[in-house]
Amino acid sequence: MSNKHFLPLDPGKLVTNCLRAITYEYEFMSLLEKEKVIYNNQFDRSKVALISGGGSGHEPGFYGLVGSGMLSAVAQGDIFASPNYKNVKAAEKVCHELGESVKWAGCIFIITNYTGDNLYFGMAAQDLIARYGSEKIRLIRVTDDVAVKQDANSLVGRRTLAGIAIVSKLMGAASQSGYNIDEIFEFGQRVNDSTASVNAGLDHVHISGHSMDSDFGKLGKTQLEIGLGIHNEPGVQKLDYIPRNEELVSTLLDMIFNKEDEGRGFFKYSKGDKLVLLINNLGGVPIIEEKNILYTTLETLKEKYNIVPARIYTGNFVGSFNAQIFTITLFNASTATTKTFTTDKIFDFLDEHTNAICWPNTAFRSKNSIKNDRIITDFVGYDDEVPNAIIEGPIDLKIDPKVLENIVRTAAQRVIEKEPDLTDWDTKMGDGDCGYGLRTGAELILQKLDEDRIAASGSILEVLHIVLNVIKDDMGGTLGAIIFIFMKSVINKVEELLREDPNQNISQLFATSLPFGLKTLYGYTKARDGHRTVMDVLIPFVNCFHETQDIDKAIQVAYNAAEGTRNLRPKLGRATYVGGLDDQIVFPPDPGAYGIYEILSALAL
């Protein structure tokens, strides 16, 4: 968890500047600056107004829920602090100001169930009830958190997590459709009662501008917490290890579904009910991990509960700064239905387009469980149509199988042994993947030597084709592409020359073919000798062998070139972006160049 932040000169303006900024981005949003109220300036004031809010620091909540068919306005407090009742009343008033010809439909406060929000929204509600009557002002608490057991929360009830996004979407669509305040309020209660959420996190949040000493409940490097709140409230369970997604998601879903848990059992579900799944990223979970959590949740729902959701949403709904926390929220559309709001109507509301910025306007084909027929597992690619052609018979190149295996095995082992250095050098001067990529390829080649006995025939070309496939399919990265293009063009040239004269000398064949490979490679990369890349080894090695056909001499040249990259300033590649190099004279060796040398060195056996 990082404790570094981008702050304005006056950190006290963090919230106000944020709210000002979004009005520049979205023309339908306006700001009451002193009151920290964001409202939809296109809101139809003849409809029921829906107002929420809470402390800032939960972006894109709460302003991200404002828009057509969602919230009319929100009152934003300071960081993790409730808005005061005057601000809440201002949010209501800006949605209420209208001409005499428009009949006011009333206002519903949709609040997060935390003490401050209850008190201040409650104060505002009582003031407004005194002014307009109880039939025009309603208040609904979103209580979707199932982590805390009933006996532990009997006084205040369940907390609010990401379920407020679903409640806001459905009540907002109902308002936009013209339903009255009683119908929308009853519907909102049903939606809330049919929604369950639980959080899991790798650490508590660090608040912008606060010292690390102020971080409450910071977790250790190997700890994970289940059932956290959205502003550093501790969870209900702390683990001293970080489980894999499969175990973690299973645990979280059990907290939602387990009907035998007398302390919970909040979520009602029967076979055949239509569910909505929402994965909320509180701000610090990388998107690739967020999508993995989604996939694992879908797989677990299907395998353990025979459930395939009818709607799926992921992203940032209710955040908490840089929190490495996610929420699983399930909404049962079947149990939320009323006489007025059928299951089909609920899905129409979910699918209705909104300009609220945190709601994904995803298109779905039906209102039933999602049938994903878009994952193709049996596609036949070009490389799968026929095996790579391998030169056989009189024009094959063969040597003693033991010698061939020794060369290949030694090259792979040397790369694996050098990987820690290569990774270290690439971490300092690049993106850190070079050593790992080479090691991955080397390990696969060793596996093929041991399991497939690829060198048993003594065929040089057969081994080269297999190595080429490993590079193509499993190495990746810039280095993998460079090696592939070079090797493929060399092999193509060797096979061409063998077809012309099957009896050519091996050294002469490669002395002729290696420069051809280098020339081909020049057409795909601007890297040359002296640019601090793999070419700093490849070019002198090829040139030396072409001129001398002396492999020992060429390998020595390659070694000198690899070591020489310590004195080369980067001119191409990611290393050129590394700062603080202006006064540096000696650098770590180029990892790609050194990796190639380690491979070539095995040819001296």
Annotated catalytic sites, by residue? 231
Edge-first strand order for the sheet with 29-32 is 29-32, 37-40, 73-79, 49-56, 107-112, 137-142
Report residue 581 as tokens. Answer: 């190099």
Give the separation between CA 36 and CA 55, rounded to whole angstroms.
11
Q: Describe the chain by its helix, strand, coil percentages, rounded to 5.
A: 45, 10, 40
Which residue, 599, 605, 597, 515, is CA-closest to 560?
597
- What is the H or E stretch that residue 18 is in? helix 14-25
Q: Which residues on adjacent β-strands are paired with residue 52? A: 74
Give the separation between CA 422 and CA 426, rounded to whole angstroms.
6
Q: What are the two backbone dihedrals, phi and then psi, of residue 321, each rounded to the nearest 5 degrees?
A: 55, -120
Which residue, 562, 571, 573, is CA-closest to 421?
562
Q: What is residue 459's three-state secondary structure?
A: strand
Report residue 337 as tokens. Answer: 């239905």
Q: What are the two backbone dihedrals, phi and then psi, of residue 278, each rounded to the nearest 5 degrees?
A: -130, 125
User: What is the residue type of 390?
Assistant: I
Which residue, 117, 114, 124, is CA-closest to 85?
124
Give the separation between CA 522 and CA 473, rounded to whole angstroms.
23
CA 488 to chain centre: 35
Residue 261, CB half-sphere, CA atoms under 13 Å: how many?
A: 19
Which residue, 323, 346, 320, is CA-closest to 333?
346
Residue partners of 224: CB distance under 8 A and separation at least 6: 200, 201, 202, 238, 239, 241, 242, 243, 248
Distance in Å from the first CA to the final CA of the chain: 50
Alpha carbon separation from 315 to 278, 327, 357, 391, 557 (Å, rounded): 8, 10, 11, 52, 53
Alpha carbon separation from 121 to 77, 80, 109 (Å, rounded): 12, 15, 7
Residues 195 and 333 sit within 8 Å (Cβ to Cβ)? no
Q: What one-character DSSP code corresponds to residue 33?
A: T
Give the separation between CA 359 and CA 60, rounded to whole angstroms.
10
Residues 42 and 28 sit within 8 Å (Cβ to Cβ)? yes
Spell out a b/e string for 114-138, using b for 16 or more CB atoms within 10 Å of the CB, else e: bebbbebbeebbebbeeeeeeebbb
Q: Name the residue with tokens 């030169």.
A: 391
